[in-house]
Chain A
Amino acid sequence: MAYVAVKGGEAAIAAAHAWLARVRRGDTRLSAIAAAQIVAQLGRAVDRVMAEGALYDPQLAAMAILQAQGDLIEAAFLVRAYRTTLPRLIDSDPVDTAAMRTQRRISAIFKDLPGGQRLGPTTDYTHRLLEFDISAVAAIKPDAPKADPDPAIAATLPRATDLLGAESLIEGEVPSLNEPIDLTMSPLAFPASRDERLQALARGDEGFLLALGYSTQRGYGHTHPFVGELRMGAVGLRITPPELGFAIDIGDIILTECQMVNQFAGSKTTPPQFTRGYGLSFGHADRRAMSMALVDRAMRAEELGEDVSAPAQNVEFVLSHCDNIEATGFVEHLKLPHHVDFQSELETIRAMRREAQATKGAAPDEADNAGL
């Protein structure tokens, strides 16, 4: 389809943007929200925009949320657009999630997980009752209950899947020296390797990942998943600048990691083993990390010799549609003027109808049935 530029509408567009600015600000008798308040009080929205915007910067994400009136896809779009203005200075060393200072660490497969389970600041086990009494919120003290720190408990704990790995009950993960593919540098290509798939999922739309993960549980590519471990906490970000020649930490980031343990695979040479699905997200994002792990495992179907029949197992389908910036761009562009394209469609349909009517004129008994 050909696109034809249109002109005009400048005054209307300017007026629309001015109105948008007033709507965005809302009732001026109420105080404006500062980005810092969004960082502090809408942390999960900030985490989602950082993940889907594929840029870790809580302040920028908060500014984007404010500018987008809380439309998180629009906010992620703003963040993606901003990142194109920044140069890439360096690649980090791979983060060591085993060294995470865990705020939250749970396992659904080990009752007595070595190192213990810690719930962290979770909404699990809440009653999901709306809190109408805002005075209760206002009375919240800054500190949650604290245990007397027990130095015997390490803040950094081994991964639960490493315990299965010690007995070779789960497939091993082998480090590789290959440079991973970078979707910001080279476009998606098929067949997509697992590094490429994981990067696409990490920035993918949470709703899309959730729905696909859910579909695998409902039988469309079932993988019998268990949450081997879900952990959230701070990880040091390490880089090795060439001018220094040694590794340095440049800050801490909050990550959520999900190790999904799935049904066995084995062969004539390998005894049956549990298989893995892996999820990792910026911020505190249980749902995103779990959904990513489910979809990662589903997309490994071909590699593990399983039938590829369900949508979540279809790598090209998943990766081509998981990016909500691309999706919203293509869906929403339909709003823009398509006058010229449509004019040609109109001419075509009129010509077809003339032709059809001419044929009917030749065969009058059919015209009655057509209702024309």
Chain B
Amino acid sequence: MLLDPATDLRARPTWLGILARADADRIAHCLTDAPALPDFTRLRGPETGMAMIRARMGGSGAAFNVGEITIARCTIRDVTGRIGHGYATGRDLVHAELVARIDAALQNPVLQDRLIDAVVAPLAAEIAARRAAIEAQAQATEVKFFTLASMRS
């Protein structure tokens, strides 16, 4: 979905997915070009834990549990009263808290445009570029197998 230029970065699930795939350093770097995030209070976490990864038999059948993955999460309330949630794979508490703070700020119409331009759009472009680079390498390994004609008559 993120390779599609038509993706609406202003949809909350979209920005949460983009922020989760970035890392704390990159987000912090992008924030230097953005308005300061509002002060906040932590409501939950940041904390680490696990999610159980589920899959489907045969890819499309009944669900089964594959194994767990470490995740970090955080919930905050900023001074405007907006609640922000941050979830990301891994154990980086700073990352989860940043996602939660930006999630709250992005719900604020006063801040949304500038945060989309300074943070969400550049991170989305980086994800798209990373994916395009991998896809180009994968396409270079596209293969055609030929069946050889039998020599026997």
Contacts and interface: CB of A to CB of B under 8 A. Distances in A.
Interface of A: 50-51, 54-57, 59-60, 83, 86-95, 97-98, 101-104, 111, 116-122, 143-150, 153, 155, 159, 161-162, 173-176, 178, 180-184, 194-196, 198-199, 202-203, 233-234, 236-237, 239, 241, 243-244, 246-253, 255, 257, 259, 276, 278, 280, 282
A56 B60 contact: no
B57 A237 contact: no
Interface in B34-72: 48-71
A203 B67 contact: yes
Given A86-B70, A147-B139, A241-B85, A249 B17 contact: yes
Contact of A93 (B54, B73, B85): B54
B26 interface: no
A119 B51 CA distance: 31
A221 B50 CA distance: 38
B65 A180 contact: yes
A97 B67 contact: no
Nearest to A149: B136
10 contacts: A57-B90, A90-B52, A91-B65, A97-B55, A173-B57, A174-B61, A194-B57, A203-B67, A251-B20, A251-B90
Contacts of A60: 70
Contact of A55 (B67, B75, B87): B67
Nearest to B53: A92
A163 B58 CA distance: 13
A22 B119 CA distance: 46
A95 B20 CA distance: 17
B54 A91 contact: yes
A176 B63 contact: yes
A153 B139 contact: yes
Contacts of B65: 91, 180-184, 195, 199
Given A144-B140, A147-B140, A175 B53 contact: no
A88 B73 CA distance: 12
Contacts of B81: none
A180 B63 contact: yes
A238 B145 CA distance: 36
Contact of B64 (A102, A180, A241): A180
Contacts of A257: 59
B52 A155 contact: no
Interface of B: 3, 12-13, 16-17, 20-21, 48-71, 73, 75, 85, 87-91, 131-145, 147
A38 B145 CA distance: 35
Contact of B67 (A56, A104, A161): A56
A149 B64 contact: no
B139 A118 contact: yes
Contacts of A116: 142-143
Contacts of A86: 48-50, 70
Contacts of B88: 250-251
A264 B135 CA distance: 36
A173 B59 contact: yes
A282 B50 contact: no
Contact of B134 (A83, A101, A175, A199): A101
Contacts of B57: 173, 194-195, 198, 276, 278
A89 B69 contact: no
A173 B60 contact: yes
A95 to B, nearest CB: 5
Contacts of A145: 137, 140
Nearest to B64: A195
